[in-house]
Chain A
Amino acid sequence: MRARTKGYWLYLLPSLLLFLGVIVVPFLMNVGASFTRWSGVGTPRWIGLENYRRLLVDERFWESFQHNVGLIVAMAVVPTAIGLVLAAALFDYIGRRFGARTASALRAMYYLPQVLPVAVAGVVWGWMLHPSYGAVNQILGLDLDWLGDPDLALATVMAVMVWFQLGYPVVIFMAGLQRVDPAYYEAAEIDGASWWRKFWHITIPQIRPEIFVVMLTCTIAALKVFGPIFVLTRGGPGNATMVPSYFSYLNFFQKSNVGYGSAVATVLALIIIVVTFLFLRVQERES
């Protein structure tokens, strides 16, 4: 028996070696660098927890996490909530009364932004939102500097991200709804339940696993968000749309504060790992 499973190790070998070189060693190097002062050249100088001490009192760092919370709302909470209503409406209302083709055509239109590279989506919106020649101001008859006004920039980025994310939950939830036994809905209809009641008491509980997966993946994506910030605002104006990933990038490649950037990246990694495990724990307990 032992001999039978032994040889399988060989198949893991290439990946384990690559994994060591590309993930494990760099991650440990990053953690190591976070205890040093280092500009990227020369020898790093060991300073212990100094970078972390500095983080705790750095306003930019805390603000960047607050902006992350806004992006979790825009990328996970809002798309999930709207996506649930849309998926249910397409599935059991439009699909039944106007045909499955109408429903899947609408679904494809909601999904379209999701196929874009997020950087390209940023280019599209950067152009649409341009203060002097952008289409958005023309349509709304306004004269706003959407991405250049510190009071407006984060809300604008959030709106763009809702547009970008929305299709993902719609598609996942519609796939999940196919599993739901129609008998539930029929029974509820005989009892004269309204659409909203069915939505609340049948649809949501039945596709709970899908809601879970979407919330987890979108929350992680929001914590990691980099591309849209880089393309739309570069964290500005001032600090108005700074996020941890861009903040660490800035420290690595522009300010030559590699040690400090590593500390930011390490904290972000820890938060993401903790969030993932929390989600998985809750999921386990529920099922």
Chain B
Amino acid sequence: MRGPGRWAVLLALVVLAVVMVFPFVIVAINAVKSPADYGSHGPLSLPDGLYLQGMVDFWNRVEFGTKLWNSFLISASVSVLAVVLSVLNAYALGIGRVRGRLSILVLFLVANTLPQEALAYPLYYLAKAVGLYDTQLAVIIVMTVIQAAFGTYLLSAVLGQFPKEILEAAAIDGAGRLRSLWRIVVPISRPTLNVLLIFFFIWTWNEFFLPLIFLISNDTQTVPVALGVLQGEKFMDATTSSASALLGIVPAVAFFLIFQRTLTRGVTVGAIK
């Protein structure tokens, strides 16, 4: 195909790309529109000027700063803790080759595919019993275990390929197991660990179901939970809704841009999930 044909293919793909990005653009346009401007021109016109009051009001009303901090605290803790657990497990399974490793791996894999609904009520009940209900710590613990289940599965395969000679050499030099792990295995697998860290962070940030169940008060909720439950509230008029949507979009797109290089390398890793 040459001549006009090839441009037609490009055009079709560009039109589709515009459709995909359109919701982001229209949300951004309307988030900076004043209610009066929206009332007279509707959602499709360009804004008269930059009206930020809608976003500021929404921010203050739901204490969005607290929500951002909660999301950050939970995601950062989960990603670090889950990577640590994954490394410890993968060290035992991939390098240590402990007995029964295959059944342990299958167990972890099943845990990762299990729907959270089948754990939710008992977790909720247990969290209440031990006084962790409505605390970030409850979400951190549960999400760490779920993410580490996936991380273990992935890292065990990676560490299974780890060059044995290096570890044997270290053992001859008198390095203990913990020292070998910390000084040799971790530094050499750092690229994979970084990808896992970023994935765990973003997956936890985006998580909705478990935080929805555990976090009910204003001081503990995360960004997706707060935005999700506010849908349909009376004060959520057209411009406030789009302002809230934009506030949810910005951090997600920011992470994407910051982590893009690591992520494009890592999406294939995530494919296993």
Contacts and interface: CB of A to CB of B under 8 A. Distances in A.
Interface of A: 5, 7-12, 14-15, 18-19, 21-23, 25-27, 29-30, 33, 40, 86, 89-90, 93-94, 97-98, 102, 106, 109-110, 112-113, 115-120, 122-128, 130, 133-135, 138-139, 163, 166-167, 171-172, 175, 195, 210, 213-214, 217, 220, 223-224, 226-227, 230-231, 244-245, 248-249, 252-253, 258, 261-262, 264-266, 268-269, 272-273, 276
Main secondary structure of the interface of A (DSSP, over half): helix
B13 A23 contact: no
Given A23-B111, A126-B241, A120 B122 contact: no
B113 A273 contact: yes
B145 interface: yes
B121 A8 contact: no
A36 to B, nearest CB: 12
B44 A175 contact: no
Interface string B207-235: 11100110000000001110110010000
A128 B99 contact: no
Contacts of A124: 23-24, 27, 245, 248-249
Nearest to B121: A252
B141 A22 contact: yes
A160 B98 CA distance: 46
Interface residues of B, number: 91
A110 B15 CA distance: 11
B152 A15 contact: yes
Interface stretch (B46-54, B89-97, B187-195): B89-97
B13 A33 contact: no
B149 interface: yes
Nearest to B108: A19
Given A89-B13, A97-B6, A118-B208, A269 B227 contact: no
Given A109-B20, A117-B207, A223-B115, 7 more contacts: A102-B10, A110-B17, A117-B223, A120-B248, A124-B248, A127-B27, A276-B110
B89 A269 contact: no
Nearest to B260: A108
Q: Which of B6, B145, B207 has the most CB of A within 10 A?
A: B145
B153 to A, nearest CB: 12
B21 A109 contact: yes
A261 B121 contact: yes
A11 B96 contact: yes
A138 B44 contact: yes
Nearest to A109: B17
B244 interface: yes
Given A106-B14, A117-B248, A127-B238, A265 B117 contact: yes
B89 A15 contact: yes
B43 A112 contact: no
A148 to B, nearest CB: 12
